[in-house]
Amino acid sequence: MRVAIVHYWLVSMRGGEKVVEALCDMYPEADIFTLVYDESRVSEKIKRHKVTSSFLQKIPGAVKHYQSLLPLMPFALESLDLSGYDLIISSESGPAKGIIAPPHSTHVCYCHSPMRYIWDHYHSYRANAGLASRMLLPWMAPLLRSWDVSTSMRVDRFVANSHHVRARIGKYYGRSATVIYPPVAVDDYAPAAETGDFYLCAGQLVSYKRVDLAVRAFTKMGRNLVVIGEGKELAALKAIAGPTITFLGRAPFPVLKEKLARCKALIFPGEEDFGLIPVETMASGRPVIAFGSGGALETVVPGLSGVLFHEQTPEAIIDAVHAFEAESAAFDPAAIREHAARFSTRNFKLGMDLVIQEELRARKTASLQTTPHGETRRFPFEPAFPAAAVETDRVH
């Protein structure tokens, strides 16, 4: 069985690329297709596979400024030749599902999110874009939305990374989806013997993450906040930060791991489709103080693994920190880590294996047909793995 993994772009190692790594474990002979590829910024696991990029790769500066090439992405995706592949797994956020699959193939889409910048985050994205993008988006976005909806019909089975995303798939595409949470390498994290005198905020420093709220809140409280990450908001955040705010930039994994394990709690002020960093924090035995929306509602359990606040304001964060500190002794690192284990890489692979087997069998059944001479024409391949039972009760 020939397998292709299609990912929107491979220019860093974030949550979406961790999904690609897990799929590479499941299908070690799979080929990878992507819009643009920066070999120097991906893992050795991904580099071991044959990676094919689109014609966008040949445009000067495309690897660094790929997001500005959004109008060309549909053409680039459809130019990728997937002839001869039996199973295609698209990792969708950017876009990726818009590839043209061969008629006999099975296309399973793991959807991190419908494209935020043309759907529910459109107005925020446009407001923070450059002048040229602000002028072009009102003309370009309706065409991209039409293409995005029409290409959803090219997918045989949708898998959503959260119930929050499943609802958006239903809203924008009119399609159902199975929820399988993304893989978190929980075994890479562990609680520390002692915690430090600081809170932590980590992730990409972009506007929708709302790190500015945490910086303002902790500046006002005079409490220590460590910020890990890089992005275009960094300069603006430093401009509003007081002396108790420390910026570490893009930290190597050992530093991130140490800060996750020793922080009093993670501050998570944005709305995410899922949010890996809160689960990584919980795998380190530490609680999370999060905005109660999106994926945080599915990972942060009040009283067990953290505290939720319900307004994106510095004052709401301050109140949540005070509430957490009043009950901080009640949070058990072992219980928090046990809760995080349900989001493990193993459970992701079990869930994806189950869905893919189901879809391959369904495709095989649908492909049985009778020729004019009464012959039975069968599906051109058999699944490469047995239809063994998996622990469906462990797939959340």
| 347 within some domain | no
Which residue's structure tokens are 């501050």?
Answer: 267
Same domain, 165 and 211: no
| 118 within some domain | yes
Calculate what percentage of the chain has a pLDDT beyond 70: 92
Write b or e for each residue in 140-164: b if 16 or more Cβ atoms lie within 10 A of its Cβ, otherwise e: ebeebbebbeebbeebbbbbbbbbb
| 217 within some domain | yes
| 360 within some domain | no
Rounded distance between C-alpha atoms, residue 25 and residue 362, angstroms = 24
Last residue of a domain, one of 341, 359, 389: 341
Q: Model confidence at 372, in pLDDT bands (50, 70, 90)? A: low
Q: Does 384 have pLDDT greater than 50?
A: no
| 134 within some domain | yes
For the chain, the average pLDDT equals: 90
Same domain, 156 and 234: no
- End-to-end C-alpha distance for the chain, whole angstroms: 28
Same domain, 192 and 109: no
State whether residue 102 is helix, strand or coil.
Answer: coil
Instruction: Decide if 128 contacts 145 (C-beta within 8 A).
Output: no
Last residue of a domain, one of 179, 196, 228: 179
| Distance set, CA 321 to CA 192, 225, 283, 293, 300 (Å) | 21, 12, 21, 17, 15
pLDDT, position 206 = 87
Same domain, 209 and 130: no
DSSP 301-313: -BTTTEEEE-S-S
Same domain, 175 and 192: no
pLDDT, position 330 = 92
| 368 within some domain | no
Same domain, 172 and 261: no
| 309 within some domain | yes
The continuous run of DSSP H or E covering 145 comes out as helix 131-151
Last residue of a domain, one of 179, 205, 222: 179
Q: Which residues contact 234 (CB under 8 A, 6 or more apart)?
A: 205, 247, 249
DSSP 263-319: SS-EEE-S--SS-HHHHHHHHTT--EEEESSTTHHHH--BTTTEEEE-S-SHHHHHH
> Looking at residue 119, which CATH number applies to its domain?
3.40.50
| 279 within some domain | yes
Q: Model confidence at 126, in pLDDT bands (50, 70, 90)? A: confident
3-class secondary structure for 197-262?
Answer: CCEEEECCCCHHHCHHHHHHHHHHHCCCEEEECCCCCHHHHHHHCCCCEEEEECCCHHHHHHHHHH
Instruction: Decide if 277 contacts 268 (C-beta within 8 A).
Output: yes
> Looking at residue 264, which CATH number applies to its domain?
3.40.50.2000
pLDDT, position 369 = 54
Q: Model confidence at 370, in pLDDT bands (50, 70, 90)? A: very low
Calculate what percentage of the chain has a pLDDT beyond 90: 78
Same domain, 192 and 326: yes
Mean pLDDT along residues 364-375 = 60
Tell me the two tokens of residue 46.
């991904």
Nearest Cα neighbor of 341 from 305, 317, 389 is 305
Same domain, 169 and 198: no
Same domain, 37 and 99: yes
pLDDT, position 383 = 37
Each residue of 50-101: pLDDT tens digit? 999 999 999 999 998 888 888 899 999 999 999 999 999 999 987 899 999 9
Q: What is the number of structural domains in the chain?
A: 2
CA angle (137 as vertex; 133, 139 as ends), nearest 5: 135
Same domain, 95 and 152: yes
Strands 157-160, 106-111: parallel, antiparallel or unpaired by DSSP? parallel
Each residue of 232-287: pLDDT tens digit? 899 999 999 999 999 999 999 999 999 999 999 999 999 999 999 999 999 999 99
Select the highest-mean-pLDDT range: 324-328, 368-372, 382-386: 324-328
Residue numbers of the domain that contains 8: 3-179
pLDDT, position 238 = 96
CA quadruple 199, 203, 207, 209: dihedral positive or negative? negative
Nearest Cα neighbor of 192 from 254, 255, 252, 260 is 260
Q: Which residues contact 229 (CB under 8 A, 6 or more apart)?
A: 201, 202, 203, 204, 205, 211, 249, 250
Same domain, 244 and 262: yes
Same domain, 144 and 124: yes
Tell me the two tokens of residue 345.
């890489």
Strands 306-309, 31-34: parallel, antiparallel or unpaired by DSSP? unpaired
